[in-house]
Amino acid sequence: MTFDLTTNYILEYGNRVFSHKQIITKQPDGTTHKYSYGDMYKRTMKLGNALKNKLGINPEDRVATFAWNNYQHLELYYAIPAIGAICHPLNLRLSVSQISFIINHAEDRVVFVDATLLPLFEQVAKYTHNVEHYILLNASKDISTSLPNVIHYEDLIADESEILEYAKTSEESAMGMCYTSGTTGDPKGVLYSHRSTYLHAMALNMPNATGIGTNDTVLLIVPQFHVMAWGFPYSCMMIGADMVMPGPHLNPKAIIKAINDENITVANGVPTIWQGVYEELKNGAEIPSFRSLLVGGSAFPKSLIIGFYEDFNIEAIHAWGMTETSPLGTLSRLQKHHSNLNKDQKYNILAKQGVEMLGIEIRIITEDGSIAPRDGKTVGEIEVRGNWVVNSYYNAESDNFTEDGWFKTGDVGTLDNDGYMNITDRTKDLIKSGGEWISSVALENTLVGCELIKEVAVIAIPDEKWAERPLAAIVLNQGAELDIERISNMLKTNSFTKYQLPDKYVVVGEIPKTSVGKIDKKILRKMYADGKL
């Protein structure tokens, strides 16, 4: 017997087998909302009916969300695809012009807006006249807003039936949609099918991947607007893990409090989140229930992988992916044949982005267009294809796709003979000095291990003699002073030769970040061009 792999099946399975499991939300006002999978299921049915009956949403319509991670947002993740429509989480950290461009390009008919985000979204709505209704989450009855056609979320679903007739949906139909962050041009839309989302969630739950199970309580730090929270809302329900949604409370102290309040065992997040948590732990905080973190979005320094494990017995699982890969493509774990390696060799492996997940294929293409050997040395652009990898953008042209069906990631790296991928840079971030390539990522990962340095970003700056040279923008640890000789000696002891060392070190108050917490080198380059570094 065969059946379509849809998110509806994940929802039904979660309700049948794990109806007692908990979904916990840290609300904007500091209170905690708790209910069961079974409660969530009933409200999702009501929401699906409301989308059809009150809002007139049809299959393939785009329904947008502009919200923090919370239980209503989770209900939307399942209810919108259940009626054949497409769930479109909006990145609330983009600019007003980018958000409005995305809403108009996607032709969203309805937007669900968290009340805490109304001041920002009211600016966006001035430019999004195609939107027919705005639904407010967590809003008081007397809230004042300039948005037209406003309905409160609880009013929307209040009198609807708890029995929903699912749309007759093919597994190949789109269920979700996210846009890239637009760091190199306009944001581009990426559609996710029911099948790709289902398979991605299954792969996430494998022991060699996240390894989470029904005994885990998982904190979903990655925003739901960031590639569907990395697929965790689906993988957690698939295996019956309790889910904790942090709402807007994303600073290190709030994360540590949530971990302790709810006995959280696993969480996901970008490196900047975990760097802040690590500093709190070094200052005396404790999280005894916590066993592992999944980190991605940008390279996670080896020094932090070592620190989490050796200081606090917390496993840091290095991952890699993109909006275009749903997002996860690789994870790094040790294998049995690594048991005889020494500590440093093991950490070198864990600092790599890891092996491809089942369902993903990776190859390295060199400058001459040939496929690189898996020798851990030959560098080239990473190309990927697989069951949850994009094959085109939504209503947009792109040269990111090869004629033989691979997606060109823009990341540069190597593959070793065990299949471990190591990203050395982005194509646009490599530094070419005197005909030799210098990896900005390698410099950053080593520099952040210096006890003087809290954060660092390395960019290329023009040089008359060498074409380009490295500049390191540094945030110093509290009380530290810049000591270039000490930093240079540390780099030399880590096998960096003289030509690879930065020519300039600039102390800054903070490193600019993108909307998803990555270092924004585009802004740093502009700051240098404007004479601000």
Residues 431-478 pLDDT 10s: 878 767 788 888 998 999 899 999 999 999 988 888 889 999 999 999
Of how many residues is the chain composed?
Answer: 533
| Three-class SS state of 310 | helix
**121, two tokens:** 């979204």
| Structural domain includes residue 502 | yes
The count of domains in the chain is: 2
| Residue 410 in domain | no
> What is the DSSP-derived secondary structure letter of residue 341?
S
Q: Give dist(CA 147, CA 154) in Å, integer.
A: 18
Q: What is the CATH number of the domain that holds 119?
A: 3.40.50.980
The three-class DSSP label of residue 463 is strand
Q: Determine contact, residues 427/439, Cβ cutoff 8 Å.
A: no
CA atoms within 13 A on the CB side of 117: 24
Q: Residue 506 falls within a domain, yes or no?
A: yes
- Show which of 152, 169, 186 is a domain's final residue: 169
At which of 143, 169, 195 does a domain end?
169
* 347: three-class secondary structure by DSSP: helix
DSSP string of 492-505?
A: HHTT--GGGS-SEE
Residue type for 102, please?
I
> At 165, is the secondary structure helix, strand, or coil?
coil
- Among 498, 445, 444, 456, residue whose Cα is nearest residue 480: 456
Task: Assess if residue 163 is contained within a domain.
Answer: yes
User: In this structure, what CATH number is given to the domain that contains residue 464?
Assistant: 3.30.300.30
Residue 62: which domain range?
A: 36-169
Structure tokens at 136: 């407010």
Residues designated as active site:
180, 324, 432, 437
Beta-carbon contacts of 469 under 8 Å, excluding residues fewer than 6 positions away, are 431, 433, 460, 461, 463, 502, 503, 504
CB 472 within 8 A of CB 506: yes
- Does any domain span residue 417? no
Strand partners, 320: 330
Question: Helix, strand, coil shares of the chain as percentages rounded to 5?
Answer: 30, 25, 40
At 151, list the tokens.
Answer: 């309905």
**Coil, strand, or helix at residue 179?**
strand
Burial class (CB in 10 A: 0-12, 13-18, 19+), 410: middle
370: in domain = no
Give me the DSSP letters along 45-71: HHHHHHHHHTT---TT-EEEEE--B-H
Q: Taking Cα atoms as reference points, which of 479, 481, 505, 478 lies closest to residue 491?
A: 505
The answer to the question of residue 108 being in a domain is yes
The Cα 178–Cα 62 span in angstroms is: 11
Q: How many CA atoms lie within 13 A of 201 on its CB side?
A: 27
10-residue mean pLDDT series, the chain (533 residues): 92 98 96 98 98 98 98 98 98 91 97 97 96 97 95 98 96 96 78 98 96 97 96 98 97 97 97 93 98 92 95 97 95 96 96 96 95 96 96 92 94 95 85 80 89 92 86 93 93 86 93 82 88 88
Tell me which of 114, 136, 169 is where a domain ends.
169
pLDDT, residue 435, reads 67
DSSP state for residue 251 in the 8-state scheme: S
With respect to residue 101, please indicate whether it lies within any of the assigned structural domains. yes
What residues pair up with 245 in beta bridges, in sequence order? 25
Q: Concatenated DSSP letters for 10-42?
A: HHHHHHHHHTT-EEEEE-TTS-EEEEEHHHHHH
Beta partners for 192?
176
